[in-house]
Chain A
Amino acid sequence: MSSSHEQTQESLITFEKAEVTPLRVRIPSTSFRFPRKCLGVVLPLAFVILWELLARGGVLAVNWFPPPLAIVDTLLELLRGGELARHIAYTLARVLAGFLIGALTATLLAGITGSTPLLRQLLDPSIQALRNIPSMAWVPLFLLWMGIHESSKIALISVGVFFPVYLNLLSGILTVDRKLVEVGRIFKLDKLQLVRRVILPAAFPAYLVGLRSGLGLGWMFVVAAEIMGASRGLGFLMIDGQMTGRASVIIASIVLFAFFGKLTDLLIELTGKRLLGQRGGEI
């Protein structure tokens, strides 16, 4: 009886304890609520404002660190002259050409080595070996072979694009669910049909990753190619800015590279999402 009484006491106590409402510290909400999604903008924005103020206030040397608004001015000035549009067009065309050539070659080769073990054993080691050559090491050879014109630049960009696309597609093909391949066998698909109807669609998400990182490298290599010898393009604009001592031109070019790099990446991402969105979380 006593133990039961004790228990009741105890439960009463806990009950009482539970009754105590926890102290709620309410922060008075301000009328302005910053959307969480835009939180990432805060730091760069603060940085730009700080930079602007420091440059205007004379803390930073304006010729080395031109204030952001001056860079905007430079951009507008270049744009008005029609000069900038031409540089952008050249750079975009080079990236596009290099990307198409590199990605297409990679797709074909990965398709071949991915679907035929014999050819994989024959070709893949060579391709993997070539991958170990730092891509910039090709530059002198390409210049020697193809001269300083467009072809050597496009070749360099293609090399950069090739490897991520090849590697990702190949690994995508090699990791295709064997159970799905078996369904293809059940329906008596021949080798080509199996590649086209089962393996490539199944490897598509990996392929997309390859294309995106390939494009990233393409942008990296177009800068290298244009810095090394070009009379047009955003990379040339940077070198021009360096030669003429205009930091604002260099920074403006950097901003443009970032902008177009992100834009093209977004293009692939959105296209991929459209194609992949339907299949949901699987694969």
Chain B
Amino acid sequence: MGYGTAAQTGRAALDIQGLTKSFTVNGGTVTALRDISLRVRQGEFVSIIGSSGCGKSTLLRIIAGLETDYAGSAEFGGAAIRGPGLERGVVFQEHRLFPWLTVRQNVAFGLGNSTSASDWESVDEHIDLVGLSGFEHAYPHQLSGGMAQRASIARALANRPQALLLDEPFGALDALTKIQMQQEVLRIWQAEQATMVMVTHDIDEAVFLGDRVVIMSSRPGTIKKIIEVDLPRPRDRGSYEFMRLRKAIFAEFFREDDKPFVYTI
């Protein structure tokens, strides 16, 4: 447990200390997150993995500034998070594109009313970055699920945020598109050099992308373990080291079932 070497060496972009979040449901109080402490280095890629209902999405919503009622502290770039900010881009599980806008207009959405020439440059550059050149004037309903999610990533990046928060971004995509998108995200991350925090329930995805994998347990959501993924990129999903990490994370969720295959780390 504790912070990995990667987190210690760089400046912290995101600093969460003793964060607890409760919801009131039908008069009762449900603790969604309890005593979460996590420090994310600038430019780091952190995967947060947990079963559904473990509060991982709530954690991301707090970082995004969509949930502001919590105990403990959450700081981004040294300042307390009090609401959404353009320095934190968000990609949701659903693409959430505006159906009445074209791809280009959607990507430019966050740039405000007076989109300058350099803004449009950024828009086109990011459309190109996610591989949607030629689809600038298409409407969301004309795009496939993967393409729509690409457009949504471009929209989040057009403001040149310092951090990109991804909430199960490929959860709704088919397996092949998902792998392709993971490779794209890796390329985008390396091109943009932004801090990435991605929530997922896919072990393979978490290991493939993350510098560290934060494993969360459910009810209440706590950080169970943080695993360093010290593998060079691009990572080979079939390599021994990759499989070993996958199994280690798998074991955190399914201890009993996995007994015959326990590996010592």
Contacts and interface: CB of A to CB of B under 8 A. Distances in A.
Contact of A201 (B66, B98, B113): B98
Contact of A204 (B86, B100, B142): B100
Contacts of A180: 96, 98
Given A179-B94, A179-B96, A201-B98, A187 B141 contact: no
Interface in A141-189: 179-180, 182-183, 185-188
Nearest to B84: A186
B55 interface: no
Interface string B46-75: 000000000000000000101000000000
Given A182-B66, A185-B66, A186-B64, A198 B98 contact: yes
Interface of A: 179-180, 182-183, 185-188, 193, 197-198, 201-202, 204, 278-283
Contact of A186 (B66, B94, B140, B141): B66
A134 B212 CA distance: 67
A186 B60 CA distance: 13
Contacts of A204: 100
Residue among A186, A197, A202, A279 having the largest count of chain B Cβ atoms under 10 Å: A186
Interface residues of B, number: 22
B139 A278 contact: yes
Contact of B99 (A182, A188, A282): A282
A201 B109 CA distance: 13
A279 B105 CA distance: 13
B84 A185 contact: yes
Contacts of A193: 113
Contacts of A278: 100, 139
B141 A281 contact: yes
B99 A279 contact: yes
A193 B114 CA distance: 13
Nearest to A201: B100
Contact of A187 (B66, B110, B139, B142): B110
A187 B110 CA distance: 5
A110 B208 CA distance: 50
Contacts of B113: 193
Interface string B75-109: 00000000111100110101010111000000001
Residue among B85, B92, B100, B109 having the largest count of chain A Cβ atoms under 10 Å: B100
B66 A279 contact: no
B173 to A, nearest CB: 17
Residue among A183, A188, A193, A282 having the largest count of chain B Cβ atoms under 10 Å: A183
Contacts of A197: 109
A188 B86 contact: yes
Closest CB pairs A-B (n = 8): A280-B141, A187-B110, A282-B99, A279-B99, A201-B100, A186-B84, A279-B100, A282-B141
A280 B98 contact: no
Nearest to B86: A188
A187 B98 contact: no
